[in-house]
Homo-oligomer: A and B are copies of this chain.
């Protein structure tokens, strides 16, 4: 096993709706190589895709007002409820919800930080796997190289503090690695042998992404992954989920 390099893609201008994000990234990234994995922060994807709502366009429902009683903005809670297909837990205005994609995360992925302007919220892409596939295809057009692409986001998790970045979209790389041929469908077997490699790559990329200094992507180089999966494959089937 060789060393793995995590290379920040810096100097990408602030992303706006309709931007050719692949072109912006290709111009800022080092020359791409086969087996590279490009990890792109969800927020950049969502902004390019126009997945942004204005708070003043949101009319809070009674449920949103109820959740916001601890001083949160009921319009923001309204956005969360619209993005959620299932509420998993709430405590005050903290809502842990399942998204249309099957991901369970805080605020159903709705985020007010780094929004394009004050008074707006950024939503998750409608289909982040498709976003990753489009970006991969466009990068191939632009550079001649087919790389793996991950869309990453910062998720909390039970039992442990802080967020780690995970993959919410994937194209051109596997998302799960089965080390010994025995698929572990739960992640919890006595012999846990399936690694969520896409999530680990997303976490590695976060180390250079820098939410504060505007590096929206990273190139992870040195992995020799074969195969293809979708981030949706990372979602635990409900019948196996002990924490619904």
Residue of B nearest to A223 (CB): B207
Contact A187 B161 (CB under 8 A): yes
CA–CA, A207 and B220, complex, Å: 11
A207 to chain B, nearest CB (A): 5
Binding stretch for chain B, among A41-49, A58-66, A163-171:
A163-171
Residue of B nearest to A202 (CB): B203
A202 to chain B, nearest CB (A): 8
Tell whether A89 is near chain B: CB-to-CB under 8 Å.
yes
Number of interface residues of A (CB under 8 A): 79
Contact B4 A188 (CB under 8 A): no
Tell whether A107 is near chain B: CB-to-CB under 8 Å.
yes
> Which residues of A139-190 have CB atoms within 8 Å of chain B's CB atoms?
154, 156-166, 175-177, 179-180, 184-190
Contact A195 B164 (CB under 8 A): yes
CA–CA, A241 and B91, complex, Å: 10
Residue of B nearest to A198 (CB): B162
Contact B213 A1 (CB under 8 A): yes
Task: Report, nearest first, the 7 A-B pairs whose CB atoms are least far apart.
Answer: A156-B187, A162-B196, A106-B188, A204-B204, A158-B243, A203-B203, A200-B203
